[in-house]
Structure 1
Amino acid sequence: MTATPSSEELLPESMARVLGEYERHLVNERNLSEHSVRAYLGDVAGMLEHARRLGLDSVEEIDLRTLRSWLAQLQTRGRSRATVARRASAVRVFTTWLARTGRAPTDAGALLLSPKQAKTLPAVLRVEEATELIAAATEQAADGSPVGLRDVAVLELLYATGVRVGELVGLDVDDVDRDRRVVRVLGKGRKERSVPFGLPAARAVEQWLREGRPLLATEASGPALLLGARGGRVDPRVVREMVHRRLAEVPGAPDMGPHGLRHTAATHLLEGGADLRTVQELLGHSSLSTTQLYTHVSTDRLRQAYRQAHPRA
């Protein structure tokens, strides 16, 4: 998988070779998903192309001035602070790898600063909105439609577990321990974790496996837990479109996709008394600072409720 062939063709041979080696490192050693590898390579290739335009022929020549010039160019082109920060982070990972593997004499990105991102709190559903979302889908699936039953199972699992949509669609039937109500999830970096789910999700999955999946299953289904209308493993895009469509039917609910249900699950867990470390483990976050965002969400929701309810707010 070469994510940026057009960029590599423009690069000096030595840079293109190193970029190819970095791709193999991301795939074979870091076990990143195809999407993540493509994103990393695209960001690094953009920086290398900028270095080439400055007259550099190899990665050994890249220094802090080169990287700052590249960031300045991104900003003058109107790239958002979030985009610039993400690309700077990707390049810092690359320059660290260069230095660690002896491909560059020093880590040129070690002192590279990027603009601080303005933290925006993710939208989340209220408990009653999440309940109504699933109740409406359940009512519509009462006719026994296999796709309807699958949608209920999808919504229940997303809200119950907080898994990413890619993790959800990657589940096999055997990944679900229906007796213990635990699902085995393969997360980022191929890290495996076990996530519990409640009785409503268990009932939805049981009904889907008993009444819905057999009607869609074909030879192409394999062990996939969740199937598309043609019998193959359901596509993440189908799940995203379904979540957006279902939420549009819930009065007052914000528009969001599966990741919004992940935010919602985490927020409701914390509001219900779960500690940060537990939520970190359930969501598969490598850093506790990522999970701490949800404490800000909960505080913000508390503040809004106070302003609305207290006569002297």
Structure 2
Amino acid sequence: MKTSIVSRRLPENINFIVAQFPEDIQEFFLEMISAERSIQTIANYAYDFALFFDYIKEKDVSIEDVNARTIKRFFRQIEHGYERTVHVKIYKINASTGRKEPTWITRTHFRENSQAGKRRKRASLRSLFRYLVKIRVLDRDPMEEYEDQSLKSRSKQRVPVFLTKEEALRLIQSVQTYHKRKNIKSKKWQEMRDLAIILLFLNTGMRVSEMFQLNQNSIQKDGDTYRIIILGKGGKERMLKLNNTVTATLNDYLRFRPEHSSPKELNALFLNKNHSRLSRKGITAVIKKYVQEANLPPKAANISPHKLRHTLATLLLSNGENLRVVQEILGHSSIQTTQIYTHVINSEKDDALDRLDGFSQI
């Protein structure tokens, strides 16, 4: 099965998905590439569109005939989860030639449909139908009619999950204890890589998608000062200073880092055991492994890279840092996003409850 190339800037598996769409939809993805949207964003759109197009194909509905009812039934069907189809390229040995040859296989797996996932799918379809109206493939936007008719679900504002300072220290220390306890024969560079990843998350608050894209030249030295350039959402860059602890750990990792990485990933900062760029999934697995080793309390047992981002924000505000500074460090486009952490750190609220201490004694 040969992969059709829509754009060489897309990974092969995403090209495979996008190539199945009608030409007008492929143009939508080319527009996204021209607008320098991140590869992860484009991949999310591809998966969302594939899910929707599979649904309307099953119902024998053309894109021109999609209406509010179609969209409502689609969202209802995937409300509590859905099967995602992914295409994976593997290599098999050709019995005749003895050479490894690429072949594509299809795998499906069940995915929960989280609140964030539901919002993203609505946003994906909203962008799609607006585009199709704009280029006059459609004369109306069925997504607008659907949203006008839908009951608005109540927004649930949850307190962000984060680590305390003591728990964060336990996570950092778990890297060393993990390798000592298991007497692991892993190479030193992997241990130093994992420690550098955890420290970067806790000291810069970067997203896992931002960590994944880091290259060696993302680290800039100015005298004794080291800074890191982070490519955030919407192609926005921010530069953050690295403290001495993070700098020392990164330098240790770079001393041990394998020299003979894959030519394609020669500049990648973090490598996997095959000396290719460490994937988003691989970075998440690193965090999960040491969270388990640290034996953190139940509320912190499912700490993810994004929750380490919450941890930095909370620690900064606890130290009395300005909300605007925290916004710039995290790369939030709106300060309202940063303000969710003020619900966690509110010294006046704490003091008010402390003043009731004498009253509550019997």
Equivalent residue in structure 2 for 1:201, among 226, 229, 246: 246
Gaps of at least 5 residues in structure 1 are 10-14
Gaps of at least 5 residues in structure 2 are 1-11, 83-111
Cα displacement string for residues 93-148 of structure 1 (whole angstroms, at most 9, x for unaligned residues): 22222233333223332351463453333321001111222234357789992222
> Does structure 1 retain, via aligned residues, the 8 Å contact 2:227–2:241?
yes
Q: Is 230-239 or 150-159 further displaced after alignment?
A: 230-239
Paired with 1:124 and 1:2, the residues of 2 have a C-alpha distance of: 34
Paired with 1:2 and 1:237, the residues of 2 have a C-alpha distance of: 16
Describe the shift of the 1:26–1:310 C-alpha distance in structure 2 as closer, same or farther (beyond 3 A).
Answer: farther
Instruction: Judging by fraction of residues, say which structure has more strand.
Output: 2
Equivalent residue in structure 1 for 2:166, among 128, 134, 137: 128
User: Where does 1:82-97 land on structure 2 (aligned, <5 Å)?
Assistant: 82=115, 83-97=117-131
Q: Does 1:166 align with 2:216?
A: no
> Does structure 2 retain, via aligned residues, the 8 Å contact 1:7–1:46?
no
- Partner AA of 1:165 in structure 2: V
Equivalent residue in structure 2 for 1:296, among 343, 349, 355: 343
Report the TM-score when normalising by structure 1: 0.78
Deviation at 1:18, TM superposition (A): 2.8
- SS of the aligned residue for 2:127 comes to helix
Paired with 1:299 and 1:122, the residues of 2 have a C-alpha distance of: 14
1:287 paired residue number:
334
Percent of residue pairs identical = 24
Paired with 2:279 and 2:113, the residues of 1 have a C-alpha distance of: 30
2:194 paired residue number:
151
- SS of the aligned residue for 1:134 comes to helix
Equivalent residue in structure 2 for 1:29, among 29, 35, 45: 35
> Does structure 1 retain, via aligned residues, the 8 Å contact 2:17–2:46?
no
> Does structure 2 retain, via aligned residues, the 8 Å contact 1:158–1:262?
yes
Describe the shift of the 1:242–1:310 C-alpha distance in structure 2 as closer, same or farther (beyond 3 A).
Answer: farther
Describe the shift of the 1:116–1:100 C-alpha distance in structure 2 as closer, same or farther (beyond 3 A).
Answer: farther
- Partner AA of 2:48 in structure 1: D
Q: Is 153-162 or 100-109 further displaced after alignment?
A: 100-109
Deviation at 1:247, TM superposition (A): 1.9
Paired with 2:273 and 2:80, the residues of 1 have a C-alpha distance of: 46
Q: Does 1:176 align with 2:219?
A: yes
Q: What CA RMSD, in Å, does the superposition of the two structures yield over aligned residues?
A: 3.7
Instruction: Judging by fraction of residues, say which structure has more helix.
Output: 1
Deviation at 1:80, TM superposition (A): 5.3
- SS of the aligned residue for 1:248 comes to helix
